[in-house]
Amino acid sequence: MSIPATGRKAAIFGLALASLGLGTPALADHHEEAGEMVHATLIGADGASHGMVMVQDTPSGVLITTQLEGLPAGTHAFHFHEKGMCEPAEGFKTAGGHFAPMVSKHGLMVEGGPHGGDMPNQTVAADGKLETQILNTGVTLAAGPKSLFDADGSALVIHAGADDYKSQPSGDAGGRIACAVIAAPK
């Protein structure tokens, strides 16, 4: 029996999630060995869900895996912000500034940068979907000064435009269009 292309994609993604310990409860031991992990719902300015964000600690940094939809097509800045608050009515300003636990400048192309929360721009397809993985080596989920799990958590914020990787203090990326709270599991 053949599996339709969309079914194959779902099956492959499911196997990939299972291999990372994101699948069934039977893989709980593997999940513990792979490092701390959190799942978060990305919400838009209208408060609606736009999919899931999974953040997992690895020996090399934090791996962010997204399965998102309903976003505006084009290139958008992706940043971790300093507070685990995503209030759509406030334009997600409750998430605070960029997560910058160590004294550094904003930008991947700036001497003295980047902030821990700076990540490469991501391109949303014409159909509004974004399935990607990003490795951020400047943060962790483990305890310490670079932890996204500090007292008030953090947030993954998607901006309206692309980060120019140099403008201070935040890359001239435009407004905040979506947000996901990144907080330690309770």
- Rounded to whole angstroms, the Cα distance separating 150 from 123 reads 29
pLDDT tens track for 138-180:
999 999 999 999 999 999 999 999 998 887 776 678 899 999 9
Query: pLDDT confidence of 20, banded at 50, 70, 90?
Result: very low
CA-wise closest residue to 164 among 127, 113, 129, 116? 113
Q: 10 Å Cβ neighbour count for 9?
A: 12
pLDDT tens track for 108-119:
878 887 888 999
Mean pLDDT of the residues in the chain: 82
pLDDT number for residue 170: 66
